[in-house]
Copies of this chain bind each other. A is one copy, B any other.
Amino acid sequence: MDFKTIAILGPGLLGGSLALSLRRLCPDVQVHLWGRRRVVIDEIVQNDLVDLASTDLKEVLAKADLVILTTPVGIMQELSLAIRDVGGMASGCIITDVGSVKEPVMQVFDQVFGDTDITCIGSHPMAGSEKMGMAHARDDLFEGACCVLTPPADSSEVEDAKLQALQQFWEKLGMRVRVMPSAEHDCLVARISHLPHLVAAAVVEVAFDGEAKATELAGTGFIDSTRIAAGAPEMWTEILMENRLAVMAELKVLQAQLGDAYAFLEEKDEENLMRFLSDAKGHRDSVAER
């Protein structure tokens, strides 16, 4: 199943990058883009970035066989209800999103669309930037990155076929796709994304503890290891709160690791400190080499 009309709801960094990527990689697809703010939509129209850009949800949803919510997780429920009320999509269309936390999104989808013929599948394209907004959108943002798909539990054959179609869609944008239950996704991203973000912020705050003189000595190590701490606080507060239990669990694991490291230093235990750093290097190298 190839998508003919794709409705992107939310012209932020991800929505904008999706539009630009589709324009480049799938020129035959009709790309519709919905935004709340007139000034943003007007600019998109002026720059002729999509086939249809509008603040009118009905216009944008018309005949869409794939609807992608690229708004913050916090307004997914309100927007989903609006989509259901407005309607007008192609029959049997797929609705997905790009949220960083999937359990809450899948719950909203189930509540709002559970009794319709619409198939809702969660997507988390793990691409982004500490820079936000359409202004930083790129037509190669998704290339080479991983995208996790979270299908509804015990899905039907029809839904399996739609899952395949959605997988092929993200693969066309250059992504490596993984399929897993939303609960598993949320645990894994707590570990690989949400915890590192919280830690980077803490490392920055330690560096600025009291007088900030230490930061005059900042080298590439500090710069790279804290880059994510420049991300949008509103968005990250929302993500961390949505996934708070999983993040709290990983924070405990990290604090245990740091407690061990502290003990190695306190006890001048060079052997175990070296083993700790060697294990970390081996593991980190295995990621970099992929």
- Chain B minimum-CB-distance residue to A260: B202
Q: How many residues of A contact B (CB 8 A)?
A: 88
Chain B nearest CB, measured from A213 CB (Å): 6
Greatest chain B CB density within 10 A among A212, A258, A273, A276 is at A258
Q: Are A226 and B228 in contact (CB under 8 A)?
A: no
Give complex CA distance A196, B288 in Å. Answer: 19
Chain B residue numbers with a CB within 8 Å of A205 are 257, 276, 279-280, 283
**A153 close to chain B: CB less than 8 A:** no
Q: Contact: B268 with A204, CB < 8 Å?
A: no
Chain B CB within 8 A of A201 CB? yes
Are A224 and B227 CB-contacts (below 8 A) given A209-B191, A214-B192, A258-B202? yes
- Measured CB to CB, the nearest residue on chain B to A234 is B274
* Chain B contacts for A290, CB-based, 8 A: 218
Q: A197-B221, A254-B203, A258-B199 are in contact. Are A284 and B229 (CB under 8 A)?
A: yes
Determine how many copies of this chain the complex contains: 2
Q: Which residues of chain B are near A121, meaning CB under 8 Å?
A: none
**Chain B: which residue is nearest A202 at the CB level?**
B257
CB nearest neighbor in B for A277: B233
Further contacts, 4 of them, CB under 8 A, given A146-B219, A193-B221: A188-B217, A193-B222, A201-B280, A206-B253
Contact A280 B217 (CB under 8 A): no
Residues of chain B with a CB closer than 8 A to A221's CB: 128, 193, 196-197, 227-228
Does A261 sit within 8 A of B, measured CB to CB? yes
